[in-house]
Structure 1
Amino acid sequence: MREIKWVFVFFSLAAFLSMCGIGVAIGAQSVAGILGCTALLIVIMGFGFKTKKKMREEGKL
């Protein structure tokens, strides 16, 4: 049985909320909101992939 990696649950939830923020910003016609949420999504995804690579190299995945 596999163990849940909670850090990845957090990253996926944060990325999901950022994508929702993009949708809300589009609905509100807020260019600043769209750009901010898009930048946040890129940062969150980057940290997620970086963490996954580090854990693979350490043999934790």
Structure 2
Amino acid sequence: MNQVKWPLLIYAILAAASIIGIGIAISAKSIFGAIVSILAVVIVMGMGFKTKRKMRKNGEI
């Protein structure tokens, strides 16, 4: 039976929110907001991949 991997779901939601933030920042013509959102996407996705690799190594996935 498949169970929800909560940490991965949270990272996915945060990454999606950051991508939405990029669009909002562009529409508001905020270069600073767009840069912050891009950095957030990179950091959150990196943490998500790192967590997934750790979970695979521990046999949780």
The TM-score range, normalised by the shorter chain, is over 0.9
Instruction: Report the CA distance between 1:15 and its aligned residue.
Output: 0.4
* Structure 1, gaps ≥5 residues long: none
Higher RCO (CA < 8 A, seq sep 6+): 2
Task: Give the match for residue 32 of structure 1.
Answer: 32
Deviations 1:1-52 (A, max 9, x none): 1011011110010001000000000000100000000000000000000000
**TM-score scaled by structure 2?**
0.97
* Structure 2, gaps ≥5 residues long: none
**TM-score scaled by structure 1?**
0.97
RMSD of Structure 2 on Structure 1 (CA): 0.5
Q: Number of residue pairs matched?
A: 61
Runs of 4+ in 1 over 3 A off after TM superposition: none
1:1-61 mapped onto 2 (5 Å cutoff): 1-61=1-61
Taking the aligned partners of 2:13 and 2:44, their CA distance within structure 1 comes to: 10
